[in-house]
Chain A
Amino acid sequence: MGRLIVRRLFYLVVTMLLASVALFLLFELSPEAVVVNELGPYSTQEQRQIWLEQNGFNRPPHERYLAWLSRFAVGDLGHSRLFNVPVAQILATRLGNTAILAAFFFAALIPLSLSLGALAGMKEGSWLDRVISFICVLTASVPPFASTVLLSAILVFSLALLPGTSSMMDGFSYRELIMPVAVLVLYDFGYVARMTRASMAEVMMTPYVRTALLKGLPYRRVILSHALRNALIAPFTVIMLHVNWLVSGVIVVEFFFAFKGFGSLVLEASLAKDLHLLEACTMTTVVIAVCTQLAADIGYMFLNPRIRFK
């Protein structure tokens, strides 16, 4: 397992390096964009030149990249041009906000999708299975950009039950979290429930469950202590990979509800061509992706004793 972790960490560093170089090169394609963004379209050529010089953009690209990299390597993420604060500061705030959103999302998603999936998978083909599967397929097929509009049309505009945006201007508010969490859960629970259902159905067909039932064990006990644990292996992996999806997938939801999280940060940083901030966001995404994968692998190992990594 130690070797597995070392190998993963090595890949992590390589991926980060490649991603940072790629991003840097993309920016080099249009060096003027940064200054136009800063001084506006009506600035004169001379004003732009002065600005580029003052802000150190006239040095050769490799020199700037290495300078950035050496600082980044020791934990100095640089300064955000867009927000005029240290990158670490804004990144921490925004990641924290998204973590709150994610916590509520998983707190709603896991019980909902696992129980629905298990219920549906217990008796494949029963009316309960049909109803749950129908709902799952239906909700999963409505993408977030559609369900945000639909939900706010009903809950905000028509019924005026909930606040329309979630920018938390007056401090943390549970009410403002309801809409974004609802949209995310609505889109996602169907998928996880279907995975759980398939896994559960498979387990229910195995000889040991049949044996347990034939032995006369109560149905309830067969499900809870025999079937469920094994059926959860597949959904567990899926849920771990959802952390990944969440980090980038929340952009639409955060954007729509003006939630000040990581997703909207990535969007704003790329629109404003804030290189330092965008590099840090990218690195964060890579770290999260690799770490969740690692966590999934290790967790998988515990859930399924047959698997051993060499």
Chain B
Amino acid sequence: MTDNHEHPYIPKLKQQLNDRKIDRRDFLRTATLLGMSATAAYAFAGKVAGGGMVAPAAAQAALPKGGTLRIGMRVHEIKEPQAVSWTEASNIIRPVAEYLSYTGHDNVTKPYLLEKWEASEDLKTWTLHLRKNVTWRNGKKFVADHAIWNIRRVLDPKTGSSVLGLMKGYMLTEFETGEKDDKGNPKKSTKLWDSRAIEKVDDNTFRLNCQTAQLAVPEHFFHYPFFMLDPEENGAFKPGFSGTGAFVLESHEVGRRAVFKARKDYWGTGPYLDSIEYIDLGNDNSAWIAALASKQIDGLYEVDINQIDAIKALPHVAIYPATTSQTGVARVRPDTKPFGDKRVRLAMRLATDAQAVVDTVFRGSATVGEHHHVAPIHPEYAKLPPMKRDVAKAKQLLADAGFPNGIDAEIGAKVQPAWEVAAVQVMVEQWKEAGIRVKINTMPAQNYWDNWTKMPFGFTSWAHRPLGVMTLGLAYRTGVPWNESGYSNKEFDELLSKAEGILDVDKRREVTKRLEEILQEDGTIVQPLWRVVNTAYDKKVLGFKMHPTQYIFPEQLAVKT
């Protein structure tokens, strides 16, 4: 690569790959992140580390054209595409609207509507180059003004987008609106931290000037509601709405189905299908399986672990698993009794047998959690010595903390999905042996999310994220909105900021290792497992790979004729 704008770190990265200090995946991830084009990065990785890793576009060239695909999935109401709160809803938008970046099935983030990006050495300035051949449905070109309009829109609190929470730290600043709320406290709102935070360079280029270093900007572009919508339509969602994607929404009936027809002038590879339909079969899992069995649908959004056996019995269906960084954590708030003492929290971890939870709840098909919320599939994951169950030590710690007779507590848990309560039940039984007597308070998901950050003790599910530092920054940094346990540790915060500014995966891993240790030692969570998500498709469906986020990319799919 002889690009003048090459990030100064890229040559070093190449060297590391040459010396086999990093593996292909880490190389691809970081190199593409720093703006090396995906083709170039894959080519370089292939040359050095040997073949096997073909760039995704080339692998799919041989798919047959035509046909209709029906996928069973909830069809939700969508009022505001950039504020959808469930992955299912985003799957209804994705055939039409696209993202600036694309995190592949291999956890490598590549440019998508962007052609490439460049990050400054301090990771505060991101220069983003758009592809020049992308068009909206009416033939108009996709330009920098459109992208900027979309970014401003998701960062506007009125839009209600969850991207705001993600980018707040490096793009926004809080200010007082001058109004007072019911309790007389001044109302706060957010705005861009600087008038030049988003800066247009030319028609195809713009720049993000961040207030703090941020490693995961491209990953954030792939957040599920971060769609590029047509400013001309002011982001409306309706049949025929404009987008850059491979399909056109033909009809959308909430609770029934959504139908898409292929677009002929799509800029990218595909689509292969003539049309794709999402069919809503209600909330009952057995209906989904029955529909798949009788070939009323060709694929499912997700298959529950309890139904795997039923699916396996269907000869025309294949199961697709994906290892994810989706998880659930039993977390406590240190500002409530008796969880203020870190010995109590450690005792809870020591009283837990994560393997047993995995075996009981997921019949072994999940990855054992290590109580620090960095997943083995994360690039900066550092393997720590396994944390073995030690009931005697847990009891000792409790006694030291002033609870020789153990403690009593109540844990909040959602009734759905079912695995969460099951996991909690297994852990509660394990804790009992160490004298930690916990009552389970189950509640509907809505009620849980109503006060998930306030509950003294609760079991919270966390979505998949491609980087370990992303979750740590969202959930455990002092004072951030999603820090549900109210965790505050100065050393942790400083190390985390440091890690977020380190590009070198090896160096970042060293810091992450310490972060993981802090969480194991002092943290607020018991984390039993990492989920494996499964889905099932008819064997006639080609090109399908389960994405860890459960996003569906219909332009990659085809049916055997």
Name A residues whose Cβ lies closer than 8 Å to a Cβ of B: 30, 32-33, 36-47, 50-51, 81-85, 148-149, 152, 156-157, 160, 162-165, 167, 169, 254-258, 260, 264, 267-268, 271, 273
Name the contact of A44 in the complex, choosing from B157, B255, B286, B447 (C-beta under 8 A).
B157
| A170 and chain B: residue at smallest CB distance | B296
CB pair A81–B77 under 8 Å, yes or no, is: yes
For the complex, what is the distance from the CA of A271 to the CA of B281, rounded to whole Å? 15
* Between-chain CB contacts (< 8 Å), 25 pairs: A39-B83, A39-B160, A40-B85, A42-B162, A42-B482, A43-B160, A45-B481, A46-B189, A46-B190, A81-B77, A152-B290, A156-B293, A157-B290, A160-B293, A164-B287, A164-B289, A164-B292, A165-B287, A165-B291, A165-B296, A169-B257, A255-B283, A257-B290, A258-B281, A260-B256
CB pair B293–A157 under 8 Å, yes or no, is: yes
CB pair B287–A30 under 8 Å, yes or no, is: no
For the complex, what is the distance from the CA of A160 to the CA of B295, rounded to whole Å? 10
For the complex, what is the distance from the CA of A32 to the CA of B481, rounded to whole Å? 17
Given known contacts A39-B160, A50-B160, A157-B313, is B254 in contact with A83 (CB within 8 Å)?
Answer: yes
In the assembled complex, the CB of A178 is this many whole angstroms from the nearest CB of chain B, namely: 12
Which of chain A's residues have a CB closer than 8 A to the CB of B281? 165, 167, 258
Residue-wise interface mask of B (453-485) relative to A, using a CB-CB cutoff of 8 A (1 in contact, 0 not): 000000000000000000000000000011000
CB pair B294–A163 under 8 Å, yes or no, is: yes
In the assembled complex, the CB of B406 is this many whole angstroms from the nearest CB of chain A, namely: 32
CB pair A47–B160 under 8 Å, yes or no, is: yes
The reply on B47 being an interface residue by CB < 8 A is no
CB pair A164–B291 under 8 Å, yes or no, is: yes
Name the contact of B282 in the complex, choosing from A30, A85, A162, A264 (C-beta under 8 A).
A264
Name the contact of A163 in the complex, choosing from B85, B256, B279, B296 (C-beta under 8 A).
B296
Which of chain B's residues have a CB closer than 8 A to the CB of A38? 85
CB pair A164–B296 under 8 Å, yes or no, is: yes
Which of chain A's residues have a CB closer than 8 A to the CB of B314? 157
CB pair A36–B450 under 8 Å, yes or no, is: yes
For the complex, what is the distance from the CA of A254 to the CA of B286, rounded to whole Å? 12
| A42 and chain B: residue at smallest CB distance | B162
For the complex, what is the distance from the CA of A85 to the CA of B255, rounded to whole Å? 12
Q: How many CB-defined contacts (below 8 Å) exist between A and B? A: 129
CB pair A30–B450 under 8 Å, yes or no, is: yes
In the assembled complex, the CB of B529 is this many whole angstroms from the nearest CB of chain A, namely: 20
For the complex, what is the distance from the CA of A156 to the CA of B288, rounded to whole Å? 13
**B274-320 CB contacts (< 8 Å) to partner A:** 277, 279-284, 286-287, 289-294, 296, 310, 313-314
Which of chain A's residues have a CB closer than 8 A to the CB of B283? 255, 267-268, 271
| A37 and chain B: residue at smallest CB distance | B446
Q: Which size bracket describes the interface of B in this complex? A: 35 or more
CB pair A255–B77 under 8 Å, yes or no, is: no
Residue-wise interface mask of B (66-102) relative to A, using a CB-CB cutoff of 8 A (1 in contact, 0 not): 0000100000010100011110000000000000000
**B117-165 CB contacts (< 8 Å) to partner A:** 157-158, 160, 162, 164-165
Name the contact of A33 in the complex, choosing from B83, B160, B447 (C-beta under 8 A).
B447
CB pair B157–A160 under 8 Å, yes or no, is: no
CB pair A36–B189 under 8 Å, yes or no, is: no
For the complex, what is the distance from the CA of A125 to the CA of B351, rounded to whole Å? 64
The reply on B272 being an interface residue by CB < 8 A is no
Given known contacts A81-B77, A82-B77, is B157 in contact with A47 (CB within 8 Å)?
Answer: yes
CB pair B279–A167 under 8 Å, yes or no, is: yes
| A36 and chain B: residue at smallest CB distance | B449
| A260 and chain B: residue at smallest CB distance | B256
For the complex, what is the distance from the CA of A255 to the CA of B284, rounded to whole Å? 6
The reply on B381 being an interface residue by CB < 8 A is no
The reply on B260 being an interface residue by CB < 8 A is no
For the complex, what is the distance from the CA of A258 to the CA of B70, rounded to whole Å? 15
Given known contacts A36-B449, A81-B77, A164-B287, is B296 in contact with A41 (CB within 8 Å)?
Answer: no
Which of chain B's residues have a CB closer than 8 A to the CB of A152? 286, 290
In the assembled complex, the CB of B38 is this many whole angstroms from the nearest CB of chain A, namely: 29
Which of chain B's residues have a CB closer than 8 A to the CB of A30? 446-447, 450
| B448 and chain A: residue at smallest CB distance | A41
For the complex, what is the distance from the CA of A14 to the CA of B190, rounded to whole Å? 49
The reply on B487 being an interface residue by CB < 8 A is no
Given known contacts A167-B256, A169-B279, is B165 in contact with A44 (CB within 8 Å)?
Answer: yes
For the complex, what is the distance from the CA of A148 to the CA of B99, rounded to whole Å? 42
Which of chain A's residues have a CB closer than 8 A to the CB of B296? 163-165, 167, 169
Given known contacts A33-B447, A169-B279, is B162 in contact with A43 (CB within 8 Å)?
Answer: yes
The reply on B452 being an interface residue by CB < 8 A is yes
Q: Which of B77, B85, B294 has the most CB of A within 10 A?
A: B294
Which of chain A's residues have a CB closer than 8 A to the CB of B255? 82-83, 260, 268
Name the contact of B290 in the complex, choosing from A85, A165, A271 (C-beta under 8 A).
A165
| B463 and chain A: residue at smallest CB distance | A42
The reply on B188 being an interface residue by CB < 8 A is yes
Residue-wise interface mask of B (43-77) relative to A, using a CB-CB cutoff of 8 A (1 in contact, 0 not): 00000000000000000000000000010000001
Which of chain A's residues have a CB closer than 8 A to the CB of B280? 167, 258
Which of chain B's residues have a CB closer than 8 A to the CB of A85? 254
Given known contacts A41-B85, A44-B165, A256-B284, is B294 in contact with A84 (CB within 8 Å)?
Answer: no
Given known contacts A47-B160, A167-B279, A169-B257, is B86 in contact with A40 (CB within 8 Å)?
Answer: yes
Known A-B contacts: A83-B255, A163-B294, A258-B291. Give 12 more (CB < 8 A).
A33-B446, A39-B160, A41-B452, A43-B160, A81-B77, A83-B77, A156-B294, A157-B293, A164-B296, A255-B284, A264-B282, A267-B282
In the assembled complex, the CB of A96 is this many whole angstroms from the nearest CB of chain B, namely: 14
Q: Which of A84, A148, A149, A169 has the most CB of B within 10 A?
A: A169
For the complex, what is the distance from the CA of A42 to the CA of B296, rounded to whole Å? 35
Which of chain B's residues have a CB closer than 8 A to the CB of A47? 157, 160, 164
CB pair B450–A33 under 8 Å, yes or no, is: yes
Given known contacts A41-B85, A264-B282, is B79 in contact with A164 (CB within 8 Å)?
Answer: no
Q: Which of B188, B277, B280, B286 has the most CB of A within 10 A?
A: B286
Which of chain A's residues have a CB closer than 8 A to the CB of B291? 163-165, 167, 258
**B399-435 CB contacts (< 8 Å) to partner A:** none
Q: Which of B85, B282, B296, B310 has the most CB of A within 10 A?
A: B282
In the assembled complex, the CB of A115 is this many whole angstroms from the nearest CB of chain B, namely: 32
Q: Which of B79, B157, B255, B256 has the most CB of A within 10 A?
A: B255
For the complex, what is the distance from the CA of A165 to the CA of B281, rounded to whole Å? 8
CB pair B188–A46 under 8 Å, yes or no, is: yes
Which of chain B's residues have a CB closer than 8 A to the CB of A43? 83, 85, 160, 162
| A160 and chain B: residue at smallest CB distance | B294
CB pair B287–A258 under 8 Å, yes or no, is: yes
Which of chain A's residues have a CB closer than 8 A to the CB of B256? 167, 169, 260
Which of chain B's residues have a CB closer than 8 A to the CB of A50? 157-158, 160
**B331-389 CB contacts (< 8 Å) to partner A:** none
5 cross-chain pairs, A with B, having the tightest CB-CB distances, nearest first:
A40-B85, A164-B290, A41-B449, A258-B281, A164-B294
| A259 and chain B: residue at smallest CB distance | B282
Which of chain A's residues have a CB closer than 8 A to the CB of B481? 44-45
For the complex, what is the distance from the CA of A288 to the CA of B292, rounded to whole Å? 36
| B83 and chain A: residue at smallest CB distance | A39
